[in-house]
Chains A and B, each alone.
Chain A
Amino acid sequence: MYSEKVMEHFMNPRHVGEISDADGVGTEGNPVCGDIMRIYLKVDEEDKITDIKFKTFGCGAAIATSDMVCEMVLGKTLDEAMQVTNAVVAEALDGLPPNKMHCSNLAADALHKAIEDLKSRRQKRKAESS
């Protein structure tokens, strides 16, 4: 039911973990089916993503999309990362079963939340220092 690519990312995810001094953390969940995805990221001075990790509670699709979104944006700028959508992630995995497209395809949303978190932390720091 899953593509080979999904199974590969699901069985051997390369980006599992946490970043203790992350610049941004984003959590997205589906309250109905219960999936939870959390993305941690770090950037350099040019806003390039230098490290990204995830933790996910969910089905094969939830874990594979989490790993894939990390892979797709590592080394990219935050602006580029904001362009990545759930649909793009699913496509990069050679597609997902139709019933998984909605409930378990939230990894890009979690990534965007992590980026928003990073930006709001920045703003807070700016406000505090000025």
Chain B
Amino acid sequence: MLRVYLDHAATTPVRPEVVEEMLPYFTEKFGNPSSIYRIGWENRSVLDDARDRIAAQLAADSSEIIFTSGGSEADNLAIKGYALANQKRGKHIITTSVEHHAVLDTAKYMEKLGFEVTFLPVDEYGLVSPKQLAEAIRPDTILVSIMYANNEVGTIMPIKELAKVAREARVAFHTDAVQAGGSLSLDVQDLGVDMLSLSAHKFYGPKGVGLLYVRKGIRLDPLIHGGGQERRRRAGTENVPGIVGMAKALELANAEREENMRRITALRDKLILGLRDRIPEIKLNGHPTQRLPNNVNISIKYIEGESLLLNLDMKGIAASSGSACTSGSLEPSHVLLAMGVPHEIAHGSLRLTLGRETTEEEIDYVLAELPPIVEKLRAMSPLYQE
């Protein structure tokens, strides 16, 4: 049986080149970068070098990179850190209803702390418009946080235009670019963002390491107090192997980005068209073209996502769904619901996210295996043929 991993939006395998670069920092080069003897200060240079390499990939300055434990911490730092440091100027924050929970739940927490949050609604494709944002900005708005690309449906937000609206209103703009890493341009000058979150494990780097880009002049309160690491904005002995791995992974991803994306987009479109041909009554969720090159998200009417995933797993196919049973709550995906997808159709959503190692053979395998599974589950469904 073929093993087909189509959940690259959840995480990716670490590339061997990345592992190789990381390995010495677990063992012989284990020093603490803050120590003054050789094995310590040598790692200070290693850390500085990794920071320079990453900054170069983002067209940022090295001093603008804060290393974190991943995407969630970067999002938390951007929102809590900025809001707390700037609350004298106002207590209004704007975000969207389709953010990852790392942003959404942080924003809800800020409400508890006395901030006011506007959750912008999205259209049927999961988009917010610059006009919507402009209308939501108030005199007391201090921060806007809008994701670059959606982790469930792959919709790419018009970040450049949105950031411009915020800049003109003198409001700070953060983007959760976790899903964009490795797929889209991360040039912060071109995007015009003030803060940007990344997580290494989404672009073939290790888990548990990420970063927040913070434009010079932006003030943040730290979330983690302690040592003076990361220019006093994030205490804690640096994850040297992880950071070195992230630097390597980001360089590789960006170097191969265009070629990879061309190949993956073609496979994605083959998969979407093939599913449409083979399975009646399915709907593509998200934007038809303004979407991540690797994202396929379809709703399959009359069936429920978890049973679909279990059947796919039996065939060696790893995928994900926005159904209530797999979301960890009783509700189906908040993203699909925000896009106006009806409850029962949100339950039948299937997300297949391709990666750099995905082959055409694997896509053909899915196209062969999925239709009979759908047929079997529809035959069991009381909603079918009603």
Using a CB–CB distance below 8 Å, which chain A residues touch chain B?
2, 7, 10-11, 13, 16, 27, 32-38, 55-60, 62-63, 100, 103-104
B353-386 interface mask toward A, CB cutoff 8 Å, 1 = contact, 0 = none? 0000000000000000000000000011111000
Contacts A16-B380, A32-B324, A33-B324 given; indicate if A59 touches B330 (C-beta within 8 A).
no
Contacts A34-B347, A63-B307 given; indicate if A56 touches B330 (C-beta within 8 A).
no
- Please determine whether A59 and B344 come into contact, CB atoms closer than 8 angstroms: no
Contacts A10-B307, A34-B344, A103-B330 given; indicate if A59 touches B325 (C-beta within 8 A).
yes
- Please determine whether B380 and A63 come into contact, CB atoms closer than 8 angstroms: yes
- Please determine whether B307 and A59 come into contact, CB atoms closer than 8 angstroms: yes
Using a CB–CB distance below 8 Å, which chain B residues touch chain A?
302-307, 310-311, 314, 323-325, 330-332, 343-344, 347, 379-383
- Please determine whether A55 and B381 come into contact, CB atoms closer than 8 angstroms: yes
Question: Chain B interface secondary structure, helix, strand, loop or mixed?
Answer: helix
- Please determine whether A58 and B343 come into contact, CB atoms closer than 8 angstroms: no
- Please determine whether B304 and A34 come into contact, CB atoms closer than 8 angstroms: yes
Q: How far is the CB of B198 from chain A (nearest CB, A)?
A: 31
Contacts A10-B307, A58-B304, A58-B307 given; indicate if A36 touches B380 (C-beta within 8 A).
no
Q: How far is the CB of A1 from chain B (nearest CB, A)?
A: 10
Q: What A residues does B323 contact at CB under 8 A?
A: 34, 59
CB within 8 Å: A-B pair count: 68
Chain B CB within 10 Å, residue with most, of A37, A55, A100: A55
Those 8 A-B pairs whose CB atoms lie nearest each other, nearest first: A59-B306, A55-B382, A59-B325, A33-B324, A38-B382, A57-B381, A33-B330, A32-B330
Contacts A10-B310, A32-B330, A35-B304 given; indicate if A56 touches B344 (C-beta within 8 A).
no
- Please determine whether B380 and A55 come into contact, CB atoms closer than 8 angstroms: yes
Q: What B residues does A11 contact at CB under 8 A?
A: 310-311, 314
- Please determine whether A32 and B303 come into contact, CB atoms closer than 8 angstroms: no
Q: What A residues does B310 contact at CB under 8 A?
A: 2, 7, 10-11, 60
- Please determine whether A34 and B324 come into contact, CB atoms closer than 8 angstroms: yes
**B379 — nearest CB in chain A belongs to which residue?**
A16
Bound-state Cα–Cα, A107 to B177, Å: 44
- Please determine whether A36 and B330 come into contact, CB atoms closer than 8 angstroms: no
Q: What B residues does A60 contact at CB under 8 A?
A: 306-307, 310, 325
Q: What A residues does B382 contact at CB under 8 A?
A: 27, 36-38, 55-57
